[in-house]
Structure formats: structure tokens, C-alpha cells
Structure 1
Amino acid sequence: MRYGYARVSTIEQDTSLQFAALKAALCDRIIEEKVSAVKPRPKLEELLASLRPGDELVIYKIDRLARSVRDLVRISERIEAIGAKLRSITEPIDVGTPMGRMVLQILGVVAEFERSLIRERCMAGQLEALKKGKLIGRPSKMPLQDQNEVIQLVGCGIPLKDIGAAYGVSEATIRRMHLVAIGKTDRFTGPVRKLL
């Protein structure tokens, strides 16, 4: 059986280009996943577990399967151990040969390097935006008036869980708003904050 695997990193992205290419490659079944390659990929794990000797796993591009060389090698060795084959539509390599495995690893290194460059550029852009006083991240879904009410309710000693239930947000969200309001933390978290 020929399986196709299409993956994009976020819900907003579309797999239609990959799907069309996998369909043209005559895949019997195409599995789509919308999750970052650095997070657990349950559909890929399910697919790998269902592979049998003689099956073929077709991907649009190597970086759709893995974002690190270690992960790529692990997946390709797992496929090979089953007796199945791995094929990339845009990178015609034969992973059944030593040369093909070397090229596969080189492509994996290039994909990992490209991902690092993109991350670096994003962080640099976020840092510049912060220096200019721009807010980074998603805007709050809760109106400013409700946020002020929440902060006052926390100050009155009402349990965070009860406030969260009343406003339809999690207890962690209420705690974060309170910590920002009293100056124990700021709105910016993650790698950008560490650069400042």
C-alpha cells in the first residue's frame, strides 16, 4: 500500500499543495496533520505503526516529515526496519542505497539549518518591535474593562477558579493577568524576553 503524509505547522496553513502532489503520486491513503514538527505528531506515529513490508510512505518534501536530522534518521530507520520504503516527491532520492541515505541526511541538515535561520529572523524582528514599543503576540480576547474587573476581583480575595469560570477563561489566565497587574511578571514571555 502507498501512504501519503502531508503536514503543516499550524491550523491556519493549508495542505492542499502537498495533498494534490500526493494524490498525483497515486497514494492509496493520505494522512494530513496540522502540527509543528517539534511537537508530538500522533497521526505520523499511527501511520508508522501501520506500515507493513512492501508499503511505501510518500512525502512532498523531507522537511514535512522531520525538522531535525536525528528525527529524520530515526524515522527512516524505522521505515527501513519494517521493510517499507520512503519516497520524497520533490527530492528524488533512493534511501535504499548508501548514497541515498547520505543525501537524505544532508537534506535533513539543510532543513534544520533553514528552520534555525527562520527562528533567528523571527526573534530579531520581535526584538525590534519590542524596542519600538509594539505588543508581541495575540491580543487578549477579553475586553480591557473585563480585565480590570478581574484584577479587582482577585484583589478582593475571590478564588481564581471562580473568577475564571465567571469570565470563561482558565485559572492560569486569571493568575497571569494578576501577576502582570502587580508587576511580578510582564506580558512578554519566551525567548524574546530573555534577549532584553
Structure 2
Amino acid sequence: MFALWGTSFATASEQPQKSAKRTDSSRGEFSGSFQVPRGDLAKAEALANQLAALSPRVDRNEAKLLADCAYATVSQLRRQYGMFGTPIFNNFLIYHGLKKRGYCYQWSEDLMIALDALRLSSLDLRWGESNPGNWRENNCLVVTAKEQPFRSGIMLDCWRHLGQLYFGPVASSWEPYVENSAFARDVRHIAAARNVSEHNHRVAFHSRTDASGKTRD
């Protein structure tokens, strides 16, 4: 029965739509296109608008590229993770070994790795966390204009909304988020080594693992 929970079917609104692509091999930039679900096209455009508004120096094409990649990636992860019920219930399934991934930090890890591959020059990706070190901890990504303060950015949160991407000013969040640049470096180091953690961690429904394999809860 549990195997059925890992299976998902694309609805009409989730059917992929082609998006823009950018190629510049001389700058080492990402080359490819993203399949944004039809139902997310307007949301992706709204996210791109918010990102472009962060600073006059933000490249509008990069803002759109990041937004399209984020929605395409989250759609793919939603199917891979097989989200079911509530976020806490999914943590319960992972904790008991019935699912492999889907903790909040894993959503943020996988999304960060996908967005990092874009090699954007006018936007920075930062790791945000609220209530660090206790059972209420949540992790997200925060996108800022290049070299601008963390609190000026736009948060990207997937876990709390069961795999539906939420975005908005991090400064307006009902929970205070702080930056954890050390953990962001850990994620990038693991990704560069092609060794992203896939194992489960026996903690109370919510944990995070750093590059050394030590569990933080």
C-alpha cells in the first residue's frame, strides 16, 4: 500500500510547458530548457518579477531563468518524493523508512543544487533556517540580488506547502529566518563530490545532516 504513495500522476495543470533557455559556453553558463507545469506558469512569472525587482542590477533574463528552473525542479521533486497527506506525516514516513526523501532540508538541498547549476551572475542563493536546532526548525532558500543583505531576499519554501513552491520576502515571514552560510557550503561541497546524502536519519521526524555525516536536530 505504501508503494502507491510514491506514485504520482500529472494533472492537466501539471503538464509540462517549454520555457526559455540560455546558452553561453564562454561564460560557463547553463544551457537547457525547463518544463514548467502549465498551472505554474503565472506563478513562475510572478516570482521572476519579484526577483527582477530586488535591484536594478538584477538581469531580467536570469530572474526568469531561476523562476522557471525552480518551478520545474519542484514539480519533478514532488513526483520523486511522492508527497502525501501533510508535511509532518511525510516526515513520519521517512523516519520509519517508508520513504527516502522529503524532509524540509532535503527539498532545499535539491533545489539549491539545481539552481546553482544555472551559474547566475546577478543573483545569490543563500540558505535560510528558522528555529534552528529544535523540532520546529524549517529550512528554505533565500534569493538576493548579488552581494545584498540576506533579509532583503525572496524565500523559496517547498516543505511547508507539501511540495508547492511558496515565495515571498523573507523579512515578511511569520517566522524569523537567519542565514546559515556554513551549511550552504556543505551542500555545495557534497554536490560537487557527487555524493548527496540519500540515507535516512533516525531523529524525531525532522533532521539535517552536514557534510561530515553528523546529524543535527
Quickly name the TM-score band, shorter chain normalised.
under 0.3
Structure (1 or 2) with the greater strand fraction = 2
Structure (1 or 2) with the greater helix fraction = 1
Q: Identify which of structures 1 and 2 has the higher relative contact order when contacts are C-alpha pairs closer than 8 Å and 6+ apart.
A: 2
Structure number with larger C-alpha Rg: 1
